[in-house]
Structure 1
Amino acid sequence: MLFTISQRFFFDAAHTLRREIEAEGSRRIHGHTYHAEVFLSGSRDAATGMVLDLGFLRQALAEVRERLDHHMLDEVPDLGTPTLENLCLFIAHALPEPLREQLTRVRVWREALGDACELDCRSPGART
């Protein structure tokens, strides 16, 4: 059997963004509360009954959150343009290798705006 576990976190951050529509407000420094959720899939370990001890995932995500929370996203190393898509990739790549091997999905959204992006880590090119 294959199980999927997930863990959510949030962060507040500012950024700018060059866009073709809603351009003026996006070019000014502005901020959002972002929510993120990561999904890991695997078999249940017979000894522990768990796919993974969620404490390890929470610990890894706390480190990712520290790199994003209350930061200017334009200045975060290895993020690139601060889009929802790039945030999904950043979070996926920031996880330690043992967790990345089981990573199946990363979702980032802004609840207040209704915007979301989801990265399917099983798709070709998702792990690059």
Structure 2
Amino acid sequence: MLLTISQRFFFDAAHTLRREIEAEGSRRVHGHTYHAEVFLTGELDPATGMVLDLGLLRRALADVRARLDHHMLDEVPGLGIPTLENLCLFIAESMPDPLRQQVVRVRVWREAVGDSCVLECAQPA
């Protein structure tokens, strides 16, 4: 039986973005509060009663958060163009092994404006 656990975090960051619509404000340096949630799936360990100790997940996400929080996203190595889509990919790919193999979903959103993106990953083997 597979169970899914998740952990949320947030970060504040600035960026620029070249767009066709709402272009003027997007080209200027501006910032957002981003929220993210990472979902991991796995078997229940009968010895611990857990899929994974959430403390391990929180520690991994604290490392990811430190790479994003109060940074200029345009300058974050490995992120690429600072879109919600690329943030989802970056977060998933930044998870350490073996947690990365358990990631099944990453959601990034900006609560204030209602935007979000969801990355659906392949189910773990």
Equivalent residue, structure 2, for 1:102: 102
Cα distance in 2 for residues equivalent to 1:56 and 1:47:
17
Determine if the alignment matches structure 1 residue 35 to structure 2 residue 35.
Answer: yes
Deviations 1:19-46 (A, max 9, x none): 0100000000000000000000011001
Q: Aligned partners of 2:106 and 2:122: how far apart in 1?
A: 11
Q: Which residue of 2 aligns with 1:12?
A: 12
- Give 1:48 shift: 0.3
**Equivalence for 2:74:** 74
SS at match of 1:64: helix
Kindly report the root-mean-square deviation, in angstroms, between the aligned alpha carbons of the 2 structures: 0.8
Aligned residues: 123
Which ranges of 4 or more aligned residues in structure 1 deviate by more than 3 Å? Answer: none
Q: Report the equivalent of 1:114.
A: 114
> Which structure 1 segments of 5+ residues have no match?
124-128
Deviations 1:105-125 (A, max 9, x none): 0000000000000000118xx
Identity %: 80
TM-score scaled by structure 1?
0.95
Structure 2 gaps of 5+ residues are: none
